[in-house]
Amino acid sequence: MMKKETSWLWRERLGIFCLILTILSLSIALTINFRPLYVWDIQALNLLDVVAIDQPTLLKNFGQLMSYLNNPFHHTLQMSDFPVSESGAFHFYEVKRLFLLCYGVLIVTAIPSILFIRRLIKGKRLWRLIRPFQWGMIIPVFFGILMAVGFDQFFVAFHGVFFNNDDWLFDPATDPIINVLPEEFFMHSFILFFILLELFFLVGILAGKRELKRI
């Protein structure tokens, strides 16, 4: 009996870890592909004031960039109205690898996570998600505070963690795309990502508490 309980406990921990990876990668995937955020920022940040093109043309170029970043079979970055330097192209290549890593994690963990949730529901153990998801909700709050204190420092630290070079420091003269991808847009993207994380964790917590009331 003790061995069975220990085995279940380890499977449960592994399931929760897998589920958290699914939530993280899904939140990232939804954020980076949420085109309405960029459309909104075009107006909110007056991006058309810094380029000599209209909004449809800008969105076409943004779509070309996202197509390159999302498609593993798209090997060359080309935008109709924005030249790209060698260092700029290399940085976007590194970003592409992170995108594909995110999608890979999502694909690998999604089905096991769904099966794990089904097992929890069947065994009336959804309440087991409450504590780890409560801890999970603290993380976005912590990073949100760091962003509020100084997003510049947070943004630099983020690139220091994920990139081992300075190619992300674009020169507008050689990589004018940076003029329409301002730091504020990335700040809004981080905010959206953290909101999605909080919502996913909150849903799990509420489902667990609802189940506890029925027991």
Percent of the chain with pLDDT over 90: 73
Which pLDDT score is estimated for 66? Answer: 97
- Region 110-119: what's the mean pLDDT? 94
Mean residue pLDDT of the chain comes to 91
What confidence tens digit (pLDDT) does each residue in 118-144 have? 999 888 888 899 999 999 999 888 888
Please, which pLDDT band fits residue 214 given cuts at 50, 70 and 90?
confident
User: Within 10 A of 141 (CB to CB), how many other CB atoms are there?
Assistant: 10
| pTM above threshold 0.85 | yes
What confidence tens digit (pLDDT) does each residue in 53-110 have? 999 999 999 999 999 999 999 999 999 999 999 999 999 999 999 999 999 999 999 9
8-state DSSP, 129: G
Helix axes 86-122, 55-70, angle to 10 degrees: 70
54: phi > 0 → left, psi -120 to 50 → alpha, else beta; which?
beta
